[in-house]
Homo-oligomer: A and B are copies of this chain.
Amino acid sequence: MLKAEVKRMTDQSPAEGETGPEEPEKLVPRHRMANELRDDINNGIYEPGQKLPSQRDLAERYNVARNTAAEAVKILIAEGLIDNRDRARPTVRGPRRLLRLGAERYSNRLREETGVSPFRAEVEKQGKTPRVDCPSITKIRPPADIAARLGLSAERDFVVRRENWYFADEEPVQLGITYIPWEIAEGTVLATSANMGKGSLYGRFEDRGHRIAAIREEISSRMPTPEETKGLKVPAGVPVIDVIHTGIDQDDQPFEVTCFTMRADLNGLDYRIRIED
């Protein structure tokens, strides 16, 4: 890692003495500058957590207008290399440790033995304080895609919709919206209370005769909507992971669907799956 030769020839003379196999591929200034900055970051010249020089400085160093310097920084922000929360000085983003959520979080035994939710366990493993907020429980008609997964009718049936926000050290991490057939939730805490009691959510399903036997998880990723950016405080240049989770009971019946929206800079998934013959 020879960071000694930080060439900074501000004049854009061709200067390509020996043309490598790669053609220079002439770049517009914003990209030339973004590339240099990116290399510097990857080579550790700017350390994670370190603030970048001011736009006005950068502009002078790279011999561009301040506007252009700002554009170059924006490129790296969009790539997720630089963080620019609020109006603070843009900062080099370091690799963050991911919460690794796996299928064992649904294990019946684990639930019974520890009594602590896997999300909490995972957060505490990182030395942070978990918090789960359930700001709303409502009775609604299921959205069409949810109805399909639960085997319900979007016109005739009802579901309980439970909204859960997950925090680590008060930083929003993910959002989960759980849909439960009214038939199952009716008359239980599932339909009324944020506090699920011993064994948590799946404990209550078991009370109603639905023991979790299998799950389906449909995973995709996309850029957050503006609402999600605000609600989850997703930094610029960070996508979200969508997980549509379906809980399936011992009779092969789906009894619950949860749609997770996770910040991709804080969450990952980790599945160990036995392959059936």
Whether A214 pairs with B107 at a CB distance below 8 angstroms is no
- What is the CB-to-nearest-CB distance from A191 to chain B, in angstroms, rounded to a whole number? 24
Known A-B contacts A108-B275, A108-B277, A273-B271; A98 and B216 likewise in contact (beta carbons under 8 Å): no
**A218, CB-defined interface residue at 8 Å:** yes
Closest B residue to A224 using CB positions: B79
**A3, CB-defined interface residue at 8 Å:** no
Closest B residue to A98 using CB positions: B220
- What is the CB-to-nearest-CB distance from A60 to chain B, in angstroms, rounded to a whole number? 23
Whether A106 pairs with B275 at a CB distance below 8 angstroms is yes
Closest B residue to A81 using CB positions: B223
A residues neighboring B (CB under 8 Å) = 35, 38, 78-80, 98, 100, 103, 106-109, 212-226, 237-241, 264-265, 267-277
Can you list 18 A-B contacts (CB < 8 A)?
A78-B78, A78-B223, A79-B225, A80-B223, A103-B271, A107-B275, A107-B276, A214-B272, A215-B272, A216-B270, A218-B268, A219-B219, A219-B268, A219-B271, A220-B241, A220-B269, A239-B264, A271-B271
